[in-house]
Copies of this chain bind each other. A is one copy, B any other.
Amino acid sequence: MTFIKTPTKGMRDFLPKEMELRDYVLKIMSDTYENFGFQKIATPVVEHIENLTSKQGGENEKLIFKIMKRGEKLSNADSSNLDELVDCGLRYDLTVPLTRLYANNMQNLPMPFRAFQTGFSYRAERPQRGRYRELMQCDLDIIGEKSNLAEIELITAVITFLQKLNFKQFTIKINDRQILKAMLNYANMPLELMDKILISLDKMDKIGIDGVREELQKLEIPDEAITKYLSLFNEKKDLFAFCKDLPIADEYVANLLEIIDNVNSQANLVFDPTLVRGMGYYTGCIFEIYADGLTSAIGGGGRYDHMLENYINMSVPACGFSVGFERLLLLLEESGFEVPHTKEKLCYVFDKNISKEEKKSLLKKVNNDRQNNKIVKIVEKSKNFKYQKETLESDGYQIIY
């Protein structure tokens, strides 16, 4: 009989010590977000294949785990066309299912709706450190709030959560898709190349201004436009100074300033004109969260005011913030974070010759301690009691013999 002991490629088993940390972080997150009025929802990991391949998922759509049809539908399918064999797949993010849930239930949900969803997503990527094929995602979304109250509340909620984990060394970078557009207009950059230009701009912190210039030149953009565009980044400016010469309505700048002003007393929030965010569905404010010293984000989000229009017959503004749970866990583990313990741990050790009556009364005592919210194990004394005792004690148990 073939039996494979390791998890499937790129996925993980979690042993008790790891689970304790994961559960603790999720608990702090739930408690915090609950206080912000967010309500938990959940969706299946299996999603209609049509919804997964509807082109809102970008690169992730290439990484779908596809599920075969079953029964008659499978035997009737034309196996020369592999797509015909498939009717669903594993979700690659929580945004598609949130959209689906909202479209299907909006009449039963509060307006605005503060949604909180955690769950696994699946991406058939090449596994590497910190990148998994089964990854926990934690999404906060406010649907139906057109004002920047959404951005302020989302960012504050995430900051509060991280601070409760004693995670303090981080920066939130913020920008706005409208500013990104105004920057292109200011420099007469060809708008039809917007996506490609922004992909290059996004790499500024990795390849530097000269690297970006080279990439833009490859796009055959006139040198004059490139030079004017890149001159924007010659010196670090605050938001107000940066936007002074841009063709952008004052209200966009005021909007972003208000967000920064409201959040900055709680954590370091900085305007970064090179912040892009990959997904094309963002329409306004965008943000990413960086642990100090690391170059890749541990979370991010933004406003996506038009996405829901595609699925419901009305315009509903929306804004979301997703924390990279797996990356955060990695950082906590590396920093030696310990889950605080509050319950007393006892282990009753009994002799193998214990009588039935003694055992019965011992079990009563044990269950009484448990009623008093202690963690209590009961085990037979082993031949190597020294080792047994050491193991239990290193696991935090006080031995009662």
Contact = CB atoms under 8 A, between A and B. Distances in A.
Interface stretch (A4-12, A270-278, A280-288, A324-332): A4-12
Contacts of A101: 13, 15
Contacts of A377: 36-37, 114
Contact of A5 (B82, B100, B110, B156): B100
B54 A41 contact: no
Task: Report which residue of A37, A112, A359 has the largest number of chain B beta carbons within 10 angstroms of its beta carbon.
Answer: A37
Interface in A1-33: 1-8, 11-16, 19-20, 22-23, 30
A153 interface: yes
Interface in A242-292: 258, 261-262, 266
A29 B14 CA distance: 19
A7 B379 CA distance: 46
Contacts of A378: 37, 149, 153
A156 B12 contact: no
A363 B136 CA distance: 30
A336 interface: no
A110 B395 contact: yes
A310 interface: yes
Nearest to A363: B262
Interface string A44-55: 111110110011
Contact of A12 (B44, B160, B343, B363): B44
Contact of A44 (B13, B50, B124, B379): B13
A79 B86 CA distance: 13
A326 B356 CA distance: 37
A376 B51 contact: no
Contact of A367 (B19, B156, B363): B156
Contacts of A71: 124
A81 to B, nearest CB: 9
B3 A37 contact: no
A35 B79 CA distance: 53
Given A47-B8, A48-B8, A105-B13, A82 B85 contact: yes
Interface string A340-369: 000100010000000010011001000100
A100 B14 CA distance: 12
A374 interface: yes
A153 B85 CA distance: 47
A122 interface: yes
Interface of A: 1-8, 11-16, 19-20, 22-23, 30, 34-37, 39-48, 50-51, 54-55, 65-68, 70-71, 74, 79-80, 82, 85-86, 88, 90, 97, 100-101, 103-105, 108-110, 112, 114, 120, 122, 124, 133-134, 147, 149, 152-153, 156, 160, 258, 261-262, 266, 310-311, 343, 347, 356, 359-360, 363, 367, 370, 373-380, 391, 395
